[in-house]
Chains A and B, each alone.
Chain A
Amino acid sequence: MLSPAIDADGAPFWRYAARGELRIQACADCGGFRFPPRPCCPRCRSFATEWRAVGGHGRIWSYVVPHPPLLPDYAEQAPYNVIVVELADAPAVRLVGNLVREPGARLDSVAPGGIRIGARVRVVFDGDGLPQWVLERV
Chain B
Amino acid sequence: MAGLKDATAIVGIGQTAFARRLPEDERTLACRAVLAALDDAGIAPREVDALASYTMEETDEVELAKSLGLGDLTFFSKVGYGGGGSCATVAHLAAAVATGQATVGVAWRSRKRGSGPRPWTNTTVQLPTPAQWTRPFGLLRPADEIAMLARRHMHEYGTTRDHLFNVALACRNRANQNPAAVMYDRPLTREMYMTSRWISEPLCLFDNCLETDGALACVVVSRERARDCRSRPVYVHSAAQGLPAQHHGMVNYWNDDPLTGPAWTAARHLWKHADFTPQDVDVAQIYDAFTALVPLSLEGYGFCDRGEGGAFTEGGALETGGRLPLNTGGGGLSEAYVHGFNLITEGVKQLRGTSTAQVPGAATCLVTAGEGVPTSALLLRN
Query: B-contacting residues of A (Cβ < 8 Å)?
Result: 1-7, 10, 14, 35-36, 42, 61-67, 69-71, 74, 77, 79-80, 82, 84, 92-98, 107, 112, 117, 130
Contacts and interface: CB of A to CB of B under 8 A. Distances in A.
Contact of A61 (B127, B140, B198, B253): B253
B358 to A, nearest CB: 37
Given A2-B123, A63-B148, A67-B198, A36 B137 contact: no
Contact of B155 (A35, A77, A94, A117): A117
B133 A67 contact: no
Contact of B130 (A3, A36, A65, A82): A36
B197 A67 contact: yes
A65 B254 contact: no
Which residue, B120, B123, B138, B139, has most C-beta atoms of chain A within 10 A? B138
A80 B148 contact: no
Given A5-B129, A66-B140, A93-B254, A117 B152 contact: yes
B355 interface: no
Contact of B201 (A5, A77, A79, A130): A79
A62 B152 contact: yes
Contacts of A98: 137-138
A105 B352 CA distance: 59
Most interface-central of B123, B130, B253 (chain A CB within 10 A): B253
Given A4-B132, A84-B253, A117 B151 contact: yes
A116 to B, nearest CB: 9
B131 A5 contact: yes
A70 B138 contact: yes
Contacts of B129: 5-7, 10
B19 to A, nearest CB: 20
Interface of B: 118, 120-121, 123, 126-141, 143-144, 147-149, 151-152, 155, 197-203, 246, 248, 251, 253-254, 256, 258
Given A71-B121, A82-B144, A93-B254, A65 B138 contact: no
A123 to B, nearest CB: 13
A94 B136 CA distance: 16
15 contacts: A2-B136, A7-B129, A35-B133, A36-B133, A36-B248, A63-B148, A64-B203, A66-B138, A66-B200, A71-B120, A84-B148, A96-B134, A96-B137, A98-B137, A130-B137
A74 B121 CA distance: 11
Contacts of A94: 253-254, 258
Nearest to A65: B201
Given A64-B144, A71-B123, A79-B198, A130 B151 contact: no
Contacts of A7: 129, 132
A2 B123 CA distance: 8
Chain B interface SS verdict (over half): mixed
Contact of B139 (A42, A64, A69): A64
Contact of B128 (A5, A14, A71): A5
Given A67-B198, A92-B256, A4 B136 contact: yes
A15 to B, nearest CB: 13
A70 B118 CA distance: 11
A70 B140 contact: yes
B133 A96 contact: yes
Contact of B149 (A4, A62, A95): A62
B201 A112 contact: yes
Given A5-B127, A5-B128, A64 B202 contact: yes
Contacts of A117: 151-152, 155
Contacts of A10: 129, 132-133
A80 B251 CA distance: 19
Contacts of A74: 138, 140
A99 to B, nearest CB: 10
Contacts of B203: 64
Contacts of A65: 198, 200-201
A5 to B, nearest CB: 4
Contacts of B202: 64
- Which of A3, A94, A112 is most buried by chain B, counting CB atoms within 10 A of its CB? A94
Given A7-B129, A117-B155, A82 B149 contact: no
